[in-house]
Structures are given as structure tokens and as C-alpha cells.
Amino acid sequence: MTAPDITNVPDGPAWVEPAPLVKKPKPVAFPVKVFPPTLRDFITETAESLSVPEALTGVPVLGALSIATQGRVNVRYKPDWKEPVVLHLMVVAEPGQKKSPALKHATAPLYRLEQSIQQDMQTVISERTYKKELLEEQLRALKKQAVKGGREAQAEYEQAGIEYDLFEVPKPPVLIADDVSTDKLIDIAGGNRGSIALASAEGDVLNVFAGKHSGFVDTQALTKGHSGEPISVHRLGREGVALKSFRLNVLLMLQPAVLERTKEQFGTGTQGVLERFLFCQPETWVSDTLDTPSVTEPTREAYAQLLQKIGRACWDATDYLTLTLTDEAREEIGQFHKDMAQFRKPGQALNQSPLLQGWTAKLTGQTLRLAGLLHVSRNPDNPVTQISGDGMKSAIALASYFTSEVVKADSTMSGKGDMEEAENVLQIIKRNRFTDFNASEIVRNSGYKNIRELSAPLATLVDTGHIARVESQGMGRRAQRYEVSPYVTRFYTTQNPVNK
């Protein structure tokens, strides 16, 4: 049999060969076993207490661990490549899925850590505030003498002014912020040696960067805070702030609808905001019991002590902790990078959108950061500065989990259904040998209940070039007709026309 000529089809769309319907990677279970026992027990017990998947408690714990390090850790792959150990994490779940309680459980020790550090700093703040007041009084007195005196008095006054300006009074440290402007965020980080975190169960906190306070989109705090770049803010009428290395951890718990709005605000592939996030979108969980066990006190206390120990050590550190890789770890991350490169090629699962392309390009660096965090959590008292091969394997297991999750997040943001759904509709089209159709005809010849269920898979098939929308006589989704690509109809039979 000779296939129909598809290069010269009259009165139809300009057809090109359809893009393959690439199936998303198989779901990967949240790898709770990669965490040290203290964190693992807290994750599993909290999940059982809240009746939620372990991912919904595990990812906030990972975020809390990153916040505890306060950006004071680097992972060095080679002399000119260092990854700052900060994470941008986003948990996406429907209303009623215990997002707020999960966040509260995970971050509670951090607020106690913050309070403890503030109390310790209060004496220093009080002493330096008093000394600055004395310098101010001295400056006023010298000013009077300078007015009456000669050059010597003037020079003494100017020198005292310089000393006054350079004399700093530390601000009470704030480890976690919420709804603040970008300028204020950077200002707070200035009092924390360049580090700050955003943690919120309200995804609208990102509206700050989309212009909530300023009226214009300003993403540099997010992008530079993730990469540890220098940042400065100089606004008219305000004291400027300049940081040599700004480090921002982000931990957000939000609803799918907020995620969709977030993409509209920032876009993908250009501003680079969402490409830096590690996503978690656990399945909706319905519990049939209220009688769940609480997190045991020993587990809760051990978790709190671990975070506070790490947080204290990082706060007291005078320099960054730089971790390197053993030969085994370098081999593991090298093989992982090579394996993932296969999925970034055209037509593959991680090359289906600008978000996935940009996100996957950053995956190796993100994996190094995860390895650094897991290393610190396993060695809070041990000055071991090399990440082992087993440690890197654990980080790769987490990276593989987040890879499967970003595909789900991309589908949520695009409003399209899974490729599996599109494939299912395509098989219905082929089975009925449609050359053109409307959604009602699909419903009549399938198990779909209504045409609303077809909106996403039909949109996917249009985008991939398997079908095309054609002009309709009526109004609405029922009247909308679709024409099937001759690249599809050519496989019916030669007796079937290419177009109706």
C-alpha cells in the first residue's frame, strides 16, 4: 500500500510532523531514607500525625535545614565552580492538605533559634547603641568648636564625623521573613551577614517580587539570592545596602491556582525565577480518621536540637564552610549529569517547555547543594569537609524525586493535561478513524463524562500538531471542530480520505 501524499493536502492547515507525546517520568516516591535518623523519624512521625504524604512533611524539613545553615556553606566542585547551599522550595497542594501545619512543625525550632540569638545579641546591641550615643554627643560638641575655631577644630570635627558614620550598631538578627518589600529583605540580610529566608504558607508572598509594593517586577533578589551574587540597593532618601554575597532561602506552601498565577507573573525561560525552584506536588490525601498518634517528644526534641546545633554553629562561624567531593562522589555526580543530559535532548521528557529546559540545566548544581545539606545534617559535630560517594547517592535520590515533580508542576502551570491523557484521546481518534470531529463526538465514543474533561488533552494535541482547530459555525466548546493531521490519518487505511 502507498501512504497518502501529505505534502499537498488541499484546504487544510499547513501540517508538519507532530511532536511526540512524551510521557512524563515515572513517579518517584519521596526518598525519606536518605535523611539521617533524627530527620527521618521527624518526617515520618509528622506525616503520620497529620495524615499526609511524607513528601509534604519532608520537603519543609529540607527547607528548614537549609535555613538553619544561613547560607554559610558552599560546595566546591572545582576552583571556579562553587554552589552556595541555599534552596528555593515550593510545595503545591490543594486546600485542606495540611500545608500550614506541616510548615509550622518544620520551622518551629528555627524561631526558637532566632529568639536565642537575638537574646545573646541584645547585650552587644545595647553597648554599641550607648557608645554611638556618646559619639553623637561628642560630635555635636566638636561641631560647636569647629564653628568658632580654626582649621584644626574643623579637621577634628570632620574626623569625628567619619568615625561616627563608620561605627555600626548591629540590628537584631532575623532568620525568617514573610511579607516584606525587596528593599527591606535585603536590608534585613545586611544584619545577618548577607543571609535571609522567606518561609510562608501563603504563596502570595511572591507578589512582593511581582510589584506588590513597588509597582514593577523586580526579581533580582530571588535570582541573585539563589546564586549568592553581590547585590546592592540604593533608593532616594534611604541608606544604601551593599552585600558581597546575598543568600536567600525560600520555602513556600501554596495551592495549584497560586502556582498558575505565579507563572503568569514571572514567566519562564526569561526571568529565571521558577527555574530555580525545587517543586513538590504530592497526591491529594484523604484521611478517614482523626485518631492519629502525635509526634513523640523525644523525636520532636531531637529534631529541634539538631537544627539549633547547626544554626548556632553557622551563626558563630566567621567564614563560609566549603565542602569538596571525594573521588567517588565526583564519579557519582558525573554519571548523574551524563544520564540526565539524555532527557534534555529535543523531544525528550525534560525538553518540553522553557521551564523544564531551564530547570534541568540547573539540576547538577542543585544536586550539589542537596549533597551539602545532607552532609551537614549527618556531621553536625564532625569537621569532615568532603562529601562521600554515599552522600552524593543520597542527594541524587532527592534530585531524581524533584525531577519527577517538576514535570507535574509544569503541567499545572501550563494548564495542560498529562501526556498520558493526550495519548488516550489520540487513540480514541484513531480507533474511530476521525478525520475531523468535535469534543462531543469524543465523549460519545469514550468513557469521558463531559467535554470539560477534554479541554486539557485536546489543547495538548493541538500544541503537538496531531490536530488543529478549524473554523466553527456555532459558538462554544461543543461547536469547535478539530481536523486530524494527515500524519495521523495516513495510518487508518488507504480507503479513508485524508480530509473530509
| pLDDT of amino acid 33 | 97
Region of poorest pLDDT, from 102-106, 135-139, 398-402: 135-139
Q: How far apart are CA 472 and CA 273, in angstroms?
A: 39
pLDDT score recorded for residue 191? 83
Identify the pLDDT of residue 478. Answer: 57
Query: In a 10 Å sphere around its CB, with 0-12 CB exposed, 13-18 middle and 19+ buried, how is residue 446 labelled?
Result: middle
Q: Residue 437: which pLDDT band, with cuts at 50, 70 and 90?
A: very high
Element (H, E) at 469: strand 467-470
Three-class SS state of 90: strand
Residue spans of beta strands (DSSP E) within 173-290 = 176-177, 195-200, 231-233, 241-243, 247-254, 277-280
Query: With 90 as the cut, is the pLDDT of residue 237 above it?
Result: no
3-state secondary structure of 430: helix
Dihedral angle of Cα 425, 430, 436, 439, to the nearest 10 degrees: -20
Lowest-confidence range among 74-78, 209-213, 373-377? 209-213
- Worst-scoring range by mean pLDDT, 44-53, 82-91, 105-114, 209-218? 209-218
Estimate the crossing angle of helix 54-69 against helix 363-378, to 10 degrees: 80
287 phi-psi bin (left φ>0, alpha ψ -120 to 50, beta other): beta
pLDDT over threshold 60, residue 186: yes
Mapped onto helix, strand or coil, the DSSP state of residue 279 is strand
Range with lowest mean pLDDT among 291-305, 377-391, 409-423: 409-423
Over residues 205-227, the mean pLDDT reads 75
The CA–CA distances, whole Å, from 193 to 172, 189, 326, 346 equal 12, 6, 30, 43
Higher pLDDT, 351 or 390: 390
Q: Which of 101-115, 206-220, 418-432 has the lowest mean pLDDT?
A: 206-220
pLDDT of residue 10: 47
Q: How many residues does the chain have?
A: 500
Q: Say yes or no to pLDDT of 370 above 90.
A: yes
3-class DSSP assignment, residue 333? helix
Residue 372: pLDDT band (50, 70, 90) is very high
| 345 Cβ contact partners less than 8 Å away, ≥ 6 residues apart | 351
pLDDT recorded at residue 238:
58
Predicted pLDDT of residue 416: 57
Q: Is residue 3 predicted with pLDDT exceeding 80?
A: no
Residue 329's pLDDT is 97
- Strands, E assignment, 2-161: 73-78, 81-84, 88-92
pLDDT confidence bin for 9, thresholds 50/70/90: very low
**pTM of whole model > 0.85?**
no
Per the prediction, the chain carries an average pLDDT of: 85
